[in-house]
């Protein structure tokens, strides 16, 4: 048996778009984490706050699906952010066991600060790519997202 027959992945596996996406995502997440640390915000907190900002009244389960994490992880993050006064839980008007999430004034303030940091990361990437390529990349990533969502729907 040759060493090629023993390869655990197919030819070109390291050249796949999906592998490049994963590496890029990891690098960007690490950069955001480094830049957000001085203001005391983790990327996971930023993502949760952004999700609630984008769609006030989300439940923890809905946030978990959107962020692709477990409901338990979201519950822990919500507890932490609620303890900091950045999020509040409100009872759902029709389902008494369901709680909706909303930003507080403190949550909006820290999100504003964190988003300014993330905007700087975005600008760094855009400067490297150029505005045309950055727009093209975003459009291509939206197609990847739509394709993947259509496949699992």
On whether residue 142 sits in a domain, the answer given is yes
Q: What is the CATH number of the domain that holds 65?
A: 1.10.10.10
Query: Model confidence at 3, in pLDDT bands (50, 70, 90)?
Result: low
Residue 94 confidence (pLDDT): 79
- Domain containing residue 40: 29-152
Q: For the chain, what is the HEC assignment? A: CCCCCCCCCCCCHHHCHHHHHHHHHHHHHHHHHHHHHHHCCCHHHHHHHHHHHHCCCCEHHHHHHHHCCCHHHHHHHHHHHHHCCCEEEEECCCCCCCEEEEECHHHHHHHHHHHHHHHHHHHHHHHHHCHHHHHHHHHHHHHHHHHHHHHHC
Number of independent structural domains in the chain: 1
22 located within any domain: no
Residue 105 included in any domain: yes
Query: Would 18 be classed as within a structural domain?
Result: no
pLDDT tens digit sequence for 38-54: 999 999 999 999 999 99
Predicted confidence at residue 139, as pLDDT, reads 97
Is 17 contained in some domain? no
pLDDT tens, residue by residue, 123-144: 999 999 999 999 999 999 999 9
């Amino acid at each position: 048996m040759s060493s090629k027959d023993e390869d655990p992945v197919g030819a070109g596996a390291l050249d796949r778009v999906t592998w490049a996406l994963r590496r890029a995502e990891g690098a960007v997440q690490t950069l955001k984490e480094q830049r957000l640390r001085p203001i005391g915000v983790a990327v996971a907190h930023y993502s949760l706050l952004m999700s609630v900002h984008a769609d006030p009244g989300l439940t923890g389960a809905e946030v978990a699906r959107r962020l692709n994490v477990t409901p338990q992880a979201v519950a822990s993050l919500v507890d932490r952010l609620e303890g900091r006064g950045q999020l509040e839980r409100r009872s759902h008007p029709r389902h008494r066991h369901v709680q909706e999430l909303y930003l507080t004034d403190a949550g909006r303030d820290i999100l504003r600060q964190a988003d300014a940091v993330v905007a700087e990361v975005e600008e760094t990437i855009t400067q490297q790519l150029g505005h045309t390529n950055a727009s093209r990349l975003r459009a291509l990533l939206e197609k990847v997202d739509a394709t993947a969502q259509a496949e699992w729907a």
